[in-house]
Amino acid sequence: MDLVRNLFRPVPLGRVLGIPVLVAPALPVLLVLVLASASSSAGAGAVLVLLLVLVAALFLHELGHAFAARRLGLHVEAIVLQPWGGEAQVRGLGLRPSLELPVAAAGPLANVAVGLLFLPIPGAFAAAVSAINLLLGLANLLPALPLDGGRMLRAWLAETSPWPDATNAVRLLTRWVALGVLVAGAFGGAFLLGLVFAAILGWHSWTEGVRSFLLHGPPTLPPAEVWRRAFRRRRRRGDAFVGDPEVDELIVELESFHGTLEEFFELRRR
């Protein structure tokens, strides 16, 4: 048991731009196992190159998150690489939800930028770098937690609803995305891979819910109300809803209020 625990316990590898980089021993072990399985084939060298490009793209992705967080005044504690992905550990981000959208968007943006940069360059290596970065960047835009697309969607929903309710709404959508991944894997001949990815989405979605509950409290709105608020937000200032200035003002206050209807009218009565 201790051996398994130590395999997934990150160890310091060095620093990049002053940010500690930690790697779980399970990651190089997994790379060695993959290379060992491919050593009997003529493409072992190509497999090694692809694995190194994948790890570099993953690190670049997390470095994008870390760089954006530092630019916004947040403290980046470390970049951690695990066999199933990476994480830029940013202190205080959970307490400042308004900053999650730019921080979440920076990771896929870094991968897409590198992918497009290498796209016109001839050669198999450039093609591999481009394809892996584009795939990693675009796949992370899926609207599911803990992927960056899910975090960006949650930040958008949180503009018109409380943070726990936005988290809960995206968690519900994550279940459907996980089911879609599972079905796609079954029909695409990669059921085991789809099952693993769906399980990772489910587990991390649950942990996001726990983290949101601990930091911001329980959700109070049904997911349908969260989506309704988001899509009914005013597109332009000064638009009239019913022609009655008092009613229009009430609607504007209600749609910008981050709380329940009971809390809204309780505050207005004070």
For 74-93, write each residue's pLDDT tens digit.
888 888 887 777 888 888 77
Distance between CA atoms of 112 and 149, rounded to whole angstroms? 14
SS3 22: strand
Q: So what's the pLDDT on residue 130?
A: 93
pLDDT, greater one: 239 or 165: 165
Q: So what's the pLDDT on residue 237?
A: 42
Distance between CA atoms of 263 and 258, rounded to whole angstroms? 9
Q: So what's the pLDDT on residue 169?
A: 92
pLDDT, greater one: 6 or 40: 6
Confidence of residue 26 (pLDDT cuts 50, 70, 90): confident
* Contact of 100 with 155, CB cutoff 8 Å: yes
Give the distance, in angstroms, between the CA of residue 29 and the centroid of all CA atoms in the same chain.
25
Closest-CA residue to 63 (of 29, 25, 114): 114
Mean pLDDT of the chain: 79
pLDDT at 42 over 70: no
Confidence of residue 249 (pLDDT cuts 50, 70, 90): low
Residue 123 burial (CB count, 10 A): 9
For 135-184, write each residue's pLDDT tens digit.
989 989 989 888 899 989 998 888 888 888 989 999 989 988 888 888 88
Average pLDDT (231-238) is 55
DSSP string, 74-139: -EEEEEEEETTEEEEEEETGGG-GGGHHHHHHHHHHHHHHHHHHHTTS-SHHHHHHHHHHHHHHHH
Residue type, 128: A
Residues shown for the chain = 270
Average pLDDT (202-209) is 84
Q: So what's the pLDDT on residue 37?
A: 65
Q: So what's the pLDDT on residue 241?
A: 45
Q: What percent of the chain has pLDDT over 90?
A: 13
Distance between CA atoms of 47 and 91, rounded to whole angstroms? 36
Distance between CA atoms of 7 and 23, rounded to whole angstroms? 10
Q: So what's the pLDDT on residue 200?
A: 82
How do the domains of the chain map onto residue ranges?
A: 1-141, 143-233, 234-269
Residue 17 backbone dihedrals phi, psi, to 5 degrees: 55, 35
Q: So what's the pLDDT on residue 108?
A: 93
User: What is the Cβ-side half-sphere exposure of residue 39, based on CA atoms within 13 angstroms?
Assistant: 7
Distance between CA atoms of 94 and 74, rounded to whole angstroms? 11
Closest-CA residue to 86 (of 19, 6, 152, 173): 19
pLDDT at 1 over 70: no
Q: What is the DSSP letter of 9?
A: S
Q: So what's the pLDDT on residue 79?
A: 87
Q: So what's the pLDDT on residue 244?
A: 43
Distance between CA atoms of 68 and 108, rounded to whole angstroms? 12
